[in-house]
């Protein structure tokens, strides 16, 4: 979104989440503060010392129902915490009433700690969820499909990194023949563990 469209939007972006690019591969999310209708300027905190006004940014989600004003394209949604109502702009532009709508309800379907050892997870389909193992040893995950396993919570006004599949402080763990959102990814998980 550029400065002209922010000023012309006709609403305040206060309490929306701004995603700010402040480097080649660096992005931060902040809640918008002090934005007035018709203005192209806004504040956020904490400040980014390296942010340049020439870099791009966009808005996603918010708190206090602020994000509802951002709905302007198909397949976008907003959640009103006060009424527990989900607003969806359907892919075909029609009323979504009566349709099956699927969403993420948990980050981790399987969680293991130091007592979790010698486990094989084979042939499961994971939709909008994944696994987390901390100090678990000898875990094998194979022949599994992961669809939408990681998602940020920015649309709910929650800042910070996405919760994703991981092993932490583990030994002898393996992932084989893993399918992530319809592409083969046998090494994605094993190389991203820390």
Compute the average pLDDT of residues 39-59: 75
Reported as a pLDDT band with limits 50, 70 and 90, residue 34 is: very high
What is the pTM assigned to this prediction?
A: 0.61
CA distance 79 to 86: 5
- Compare 138 and 151 and report the one with higher pLDDT: 138
- pLDDT, position 23: 67
Reported as a pLDDT band with limits 50, 70 and 90, residue 184 is: very low
Q: Which residues, listed in sequence order, are joined to residue 146 by a DSSP beta bridge?
A: 126, 180
Instruction: Find all residues with CB under 8 Å of 122, minimum gap 6, and list them.
Output: 140, 141, 142, 143, 144
């Amino acid at each position: 979104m550029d400065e002209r469209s922010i000023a012309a939007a006709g609403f305040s972006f206060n309490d929306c989440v701004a995603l700010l690019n402040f480097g080649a591969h660096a992005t931060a999310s902040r809640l918008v503060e002090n934005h007035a209708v018709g203005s192209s300027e806004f504040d956020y905190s904490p400040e980014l010392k390296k942010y340049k006004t020439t870099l791009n940014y966009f808005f996603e989600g918010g708190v206090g129902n602020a994000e509802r004003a951002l709905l302007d394209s198909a397949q976008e949604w907003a959640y009103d915490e006060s009424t527990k109502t989900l607003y969806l702009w359907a892919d075909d532009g029609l009323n979504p009433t009566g349709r099956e709508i699927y969403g993420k309800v948990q980050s981790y379907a399987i969680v293991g700690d130091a007592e979790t050892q010698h486990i094989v997870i084979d042939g499961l389909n994971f939709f909008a969820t994944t696994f987390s193992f901390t100090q678990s040893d000898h875990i094998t995950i194979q022949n599994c499909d992961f669809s939408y396993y990681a998602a940020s919570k920015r649309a709910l006004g929650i800042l910070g990194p996405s919760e994703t599949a991981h092993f932490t402080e583990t030994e002898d763990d393996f992932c084989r023949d893993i399918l992530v959102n319809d592409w083969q990814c046998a090494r994605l998980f094993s190389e991203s563990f820390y």
